[in-house]
Amino acid sequence: MAAERDSDVRAPQAVSSDGAVYETATGRAEAHYYHFSHDKAGMGSVDKAKVAAVVHSMSEGSSFYRNEERRDARIQQQIEGMRRRWQALREGGLELEGAAATARRERAAMETRRRLDRVWVVVDMDMFFAAVEMRDKPELRDQPMAVGGTGMLSTANYAARKFGVRSAMPGFIALKLCPSLVIVRPNYDKYKAAAKLAKQVFRRFDPQCVALSLDEAYLDVTDAVSRKLGGLPAAEMAAFHEAVWDVVAAIRRDVSVATGGLTCSAGAAPNAMLAKIASDMNKPDGQCLVPFDAGSILGFVGALPLRKLPGIGRVSETQLGGLGLRVVADVRDEAARLHCVLSPRMATWLHRVSLGIAESGRSGSEAGAQYRRKSISLERTFRDEGSLAALQATVAKLASKLSLQMQGSKAAAEAGSSGADGRQAEAGRAGSEAGAAEDDGVQAARPPRGHVPGFFGMADSDSDSDDAGRPKVRPAMRGRTVTVKLKLASFKVLQRSATLAEPTNSAEVISAACKRLVAQESERFKAAHGGRPLVLRLLGVKMHGLVFDDDVDEEERAAAGHMCKLDDGSDEDDGADGGSPERADSAVVGQGRRPVLRAVLDERLRQMRRHSQQSQQQHPAKRARRQPGGSSGQRSLSGFVSIS
């Protein structure tokens, strides 16, 4: 693996060499009570131990903390099992030999599929929400600041990050870490407007660019780079890299101009996964290019802490860490063993990404199906509540509101702005690649396919038209399965669902189903806990098994005369009128119109999860099952780890 350096890139800081970037980033799994990673932009100089101590002191003894402890204990137990299996593997043993053969076969097939002929760029705005606030209020500029409330922060500026303040951190803890912190309430409309301006820039470089969230976009700039090179193939790699570099710099400059000074960072690479990782390497206001040759790529990904891989989060990192694996090269070296311990899917996925290979397909020619969401939901946190009547009133309200959203633009518009309740209404996200629906397997040959991330994001909300000027429409939909989510005062989460005979979007029907599910769970809880009431802190309602009114078969459409169209939509989504037949979730290429970029990040959130894992489950009307395996009592002294 030579060549992992960036010597061929014009700007010297393009790809910081592996060592330089991660020298301080080797943080391994830390105790659960300190779960804010500092391996992030702006976190270079925090006193981790001190921050951990403060966070711990603020959390200790709370219900939240106890729940984290339970969770941590479970994870540690799983790791134990995994580790035993790992160590039981014998060098010349049958199982390991077989797995080794599989891994070799896999690697050969994967290398075959490595593509270096597309140029992907991922752009990620710097401290996005905070940056917008700072742009609009100069007095916040040189001041530690965060966006959110005392309960929860969305993000923080770099001055605040120096104190350890982070996204998803409770505001009251942040204030302890940084008493001078100013917390600003979010203004989503402003963020959406800024995102829209940025997207207009992205479109100039890739008309099909895809936004995965308000502040992150994926672009295939292959054509833009070609143009820059005058349509000729680059004579030398250095010239090609330079062209890529310049295109990325131009994008970033234009974004800054268009948004009134917001900065962003970007990564450029042969696939979207690598570009995404690279986008984080020179934050803020920087860019990073991963050289377009296999050797450099292997060197680049190999040195990354596993956590850097999109799809590897806190739990997965801890689990792999339990096997002694810390950086990507470790899992590459242990591909065979991992096949014996992880699910085949997970093992194969890890192996592939450890080689820096991802299928970042552009739908381009293959007319894309239009993206369809697979579920729609609302949830809300409230003060502990134990009255069944009150809880049912709450779910009913959520159900009604959800029903309204499911009626499409027209109904939603008529209902007026439901804004009052201080919803958090933004967020939203979209999955990425195919997977479940269509294998996305591992097999070598299959043509790239998959569906698209839907957006929410960059689509502006305060406009009635999309960027091409067409009226935006939110299609009406119905769902067949209704799920209620219950978070107990203890923070334990339960879901209970029911599948109806027919898809619906009726407030009454959804409401009734929700109330019944909540009542049932309430009963069950009382029965199991000596009459104590079920006390909740959150309720949610989700519908899935969706069918869209503008998706029904021709006959049905003619018969029903449906077609909820027109009318303003207040936000989100990408219009695209009807046309596609078939079930909504069939994501198969259909004939939807309007090609959409697909599968940008072919790595959707993969799960860590070994074969057996599992365990618990208990519950309902069932016999309480026995815990398998020994050591039920055992505790996992979670006092473990800590500090860095």
Which sequence positions are flagged as catalytic? 216
Q: Which stretches does DSSP call E strand in 34-136? A: 120-125
In this chain, which of 82, 110, 224, 315 binds DNA, going by CB under 7 A? 315
Nearer to DNA, 313 or 322 (CB): 313
Q: Is 85 an interacting residue with respect to DNA (CB under 7 A)?
A: no
Q: Is 155 an interacting residue with respect to ligand DCP (CB under 6 A)?
A: yes
- Residues numbered 210 to 239 that lie near ligand DCP (CB under 6 A) are 215
Name residue 539's beta-bridge partners. 380, 486
Distances (CA, A) of 197 to 59, 130, 186, 247: 40, 17, 19, 18
Nearer to ligand DCP, 168 or 560 (CB): 168
Q: Is 632 an interacting residue with respect to DNA (CB under 7 A)?
A: no
- How many other CB atoms are there within 10 angstroms of residue 167's CB atom? 18
Q: Which residues, in sequence order, are CB contacts of 566 under 8 Å at separation 6+?
A: 409, 410, 471, 473
Nearer to DNA, 324 or 344 (CB): 344
Q: Is 283 an interacting residue with respect to ligand DCP (CB under 6 A)?
A: yes
Q: Is 524 an interacting residue with respect to DNA (CB under 7 A)?
A: no
Shortest approach of DNA to residue 207 CB, angstroms? 22
Nearer to DNA, 9 or 160 (CB): 160
In this chain, which of 30, 124, 574, 585 binds Mg ion, going by CB under 5 A? 124
Q: Does residue 503 have a cis peptide bond before it, meaning omega lies within 30 degrees of 0?
A: no
Asked if residues 208 and 361 have their Cβ atoms less than 8 Å apart, the reply is no
Residues 150-179, mask of contacts with DNA (x by CB under 7 A): xxx-x------------xxxx-xx------
**Sign for the pseudo-dihedral over CA of 446, 451, 453, 459:** positive
For the beta sheet containing 264-269, the strands, ordered from the edge strand earlier in sequence to the opposite edge, are 210-213, 216-220, 120-125, 264-269, 287-289
Residues 488-507, mask of contacts with DNA (x by CB under 7 A): -----xxxxxxx--------
For residue 623, the Cα-to-chain-centroid distance in whole angstroms is 36
Q: Is 330 an interacting residue with respect to Mg ion (CB under 5 A)?
A: no
Q: CA 353 to CA 16: how far, in whole Å?
A: 20
In this chain, which of 164, 448, 479, 540 binds DNA, going by CB under 7 A? 540
Nearer to ligand DCP, 20 or 425 (CB): 425
Shortest approach of Mg ion to residue 392 CB, angstroms? 40
Residues 395-434, mask of contacts with DNA (x by CB under 7 A): ----------------------------xxx-xxxxx--x
In this chain, which of 42, 286, 305, 311 binds DNA, going by CB under 7 A? 311
Q: Is 605 an interacting residue with respect to ligand DCP (CB under 6 A)?
A: no
In this chain, which of 112, 381, 465, 644 binds DNA, going by CB under 7 A? 381
Nearer to DNA, 216 or 551 (CB): 216
* Single-letter amino acid code for the residue at 43: M
Q: Is 567 an interacting residue with respect to Mg ion (CB under 5 A)?
A: no
Shortest approach of ligand DCP to residue 371 CB, angstroms? 20
At 73, list the tokens: 């204990």
Q: Is 606 an interacting residue with respect to DNA (CB under 7 A)?
A: yes
Shortest approach of ligand DCP to residue 606 CB, angstroms? 19
Asked if residues 335 and 352 have their Cβ atoms less than 8 Å apart, the reply is no
Residues 110-129, mask of contacts with ligand DCP (x by CB under 6 A): --------------xxxxxx
Nearer to ligand DCP, 7 or 381 (CB): 381
Q: Is 321 an interacting residue with respect to DNA (CB under 7 A)?
A: no
For the beta sheet containing 375-385, the strands, ordered from the edge strand earlier in sequence to the opposite edge, are 375-385, 536-548, 477-488, 493-504
Q: Residue ranges of the alpha helices (H) in 140-280? A: 158-161, 171-177, 188-205, 222-228, 237-258, 272-279
Tell me the pairing of strands 153-156 and 493-504. Answer: unpaired
Residues 39-68, mask of contacts with ligand DCP (x by CB under 6 A): -xx---------------------------
At 139, list the tokens: 């007095």
Shortest approach of ligand DCP to residue 523 CB, angstroms? 35
Cα-Cα-Cα-Cα dihedral of 6, 9, 14, 16, to 10°? 10
Shortest approach of ligand DCP to residue 108 CB, angstroms? 36
In this chain, which of 5, 10, 190, 380 binds DNA, going by CB under 7 A? 380
Run of H or E including 264? strand 264-269
Q: CA 338 to CA 346: how far, in whole Å?
A: 9
Start-to-end CA distance of the chain, whole Å, equals 30
Q: Is 284 an interacting residue with respect to ligand DCP (CB under 6 A)?
A: yes
**Sign for the pseudo-dihedral over CA of 324, 327, 331, 332:** negative
Tell which residue, 573, 610, 521, has the closest CA to residue 343.
610
Residues that bind Mg ion in the complex, under the rule CB under 5 A = 124-125, 128, 215
Residues that bind ligand DCP in the complex, under the rule CB under 6 A = 40-41, 124-129, 154-155, 167-168, 215, 283-284
